[in-house]
Amino acid sequence: MSGVWEQVIGQPAVVAELQAAVADPTAMTHAWLFTGPPGSGRSVAARAFAAALQCPDGGDGTCHACRTVLAGTHADVQTVVPEGLSIGVAEVRELVRIAGRAPSQGRWQVVLVEDADRMTEQASNTVLKMLEEPPARTVFLLCAPSLHPDDVPVTIRSRCRVVGLRQPPVDAVADVLVRRDGVDAGLAAWSAAAAGGHVGRARHLARDEDARLARKAVLDVPLSLVSLAACLNAADDLVSAAREESDRATAELDGAETEAVKQSLGVGARGPGVAAASRGAGHLKELEKRQKSRATRLGRDSLDRALVDLAALYRDALVLATTGGDAPHLAHPDRRADAEELARRIGPEGALRRIDAVLDCRTALEQNVKPQVAVEALTVALRLPS
C-alpha cells in the first residue's frame, strides 16, 4: 500500500472501500462514521481519506494537498481533536458555520471530528441538523469507539456510512515500527505484543523506557495485593503515576500557550497597551479553564490505560484457568508466569469478579468519582485471598 494509505495499518478491506469512494464520486457519501477499538487507527484512516479526497491523484501522499491535510494545515479540512473532557456546542457551531462554505482550494469541504463520542448532547444535535441538510461539497468524518448509543446517537449513526476498523495484527504493527520508525526488530515485536496491536501505544513503548517501566509497575500490582496496607499503597502509586504523567504533559503545553496569549494581549505593556491587557483577563481565565479540563482528561486517560492493562492481565488469568494453561493467545504474553500464578490463586470465578471490579472503577471515574476513592475501592476488591 502506498501514498496516504501507507499510514493505515492492517486494514486492507477498509482501505479498498475508501479508495473506491475516492475513485467514483457516485460511491461518495456526505457523512462517514469510523469505528473500532482504541489503537485501531480510526482517526488515521479518516485523515488519510480526507487527504485522498483533496488529492487530484486519489492520495499519492506527495502533492501539496496530501501533505497539508496530513499536517493539519489544509484550508478546507477542519479537524476537532478534543483536549478536554468533551466537545461543546460552541466549538461545533463554529465548525458547522465553516462547513457551509464552498471549498476555497480543495475539491471538498471536509470536517473531521476525532472522538465524536465526546460531543455533548447539544453539540450532537447541532451536527445532526447539518447531516440532515448537508451542503453539496461538504463531507463529515466522525470517529468513535463503537456503534453503541452511548458513543454515537442512533439519529447520527443512521445518517452515516459506517466504516468498521479492527485491531491490527501484532505482526503488522511490529513491521511498521521496524520499517517506519527504525525500531530494533526484537523490541518492535515485544512492544507490538505488549500493546495488543494498539499502534500508538506500541510506538510509545518502543521509544520510551519510562513507558515500559510504568507498564511493568501496573502489571506488578495484582500479585502484590496481599494485605489492606498493600492495597492502599498500590492505589496511591497508581493515582500518583497518572498525576505525574498528566503534570509532565500539561507543563510542556500550558506554559507556551499562556505566554503566547499574554503576548497577544500585551500583558506587562506600558502606556496604551495597559487598557487592552486589562481587558484580556477574561481570555486568560478561559484559557486556564481549558487547560484544567485538559489536565483532567490526560490524568484520566493515563489512569484508564493502567486499568485496561490490569483487566487484560486478569483476562489472561481467566483464560489460563479455564483452558488448563493451553491458551492460544494472551494479552500480556511477557507476563504469562504472573497470569498462571493468579489463575492458581483466584481461579476463574475470582478472575471474572476482578475484571468486573476494574470495569466498575472505569465507570466510577467517568462519573467523576475522585480517582483516589475509586482506585482504593478497586485495589481492595482485587486483594488476593489469604
Residue 276's pLDDT is 55
For the stretch 183-200, pLDDT in tens is 999 999 999 999 888 888
For the stretch 6-50, pLDDT in tens is 989 989 999 999 999 999 878 789 999 999 988 889 999 999 999
* Helical segments of the chain, H only: 12-23, 42-54, 64-71, 89-99, 121-132, 154-157, 170-181, 185-194, 199-207, 209-219, 221-224, 228-265, 273-279, 281-323, 336-366, 371-381
Name residues whose C-beta falls within 8 Å of residue 256's C-beta, 6 or more positions apart in sequence: none
Neighbours of 136 (CB within 10 A): 8
Place 234 in a pLDDT band, splitting at 50, 70 and 90. very high
Nearest CA-CA partner of 217 in 296, 301, 309: 309
Mean pLDDT for all residues in the chain: 87
Regarding pTM above 0.95, the answer is no
Residue 21's pLDDT is 93
Q: In whole angstroms, what is the distance from residue 139 CA to residue 154 CA?
A: 19
Place 223 in a pLDDT band, splitting at 50, 70 and 90. very high
Residue 311's pLDDT is 95
Residue 294's pLDDT is 65
For the stretch 105-156, pLDDT in tens is 878 999 999 989 989 899 999 999 889 888 888 999 999 988 888 888 999 9
CA torsion angle 165 169 170 175 (round to 10) = -100
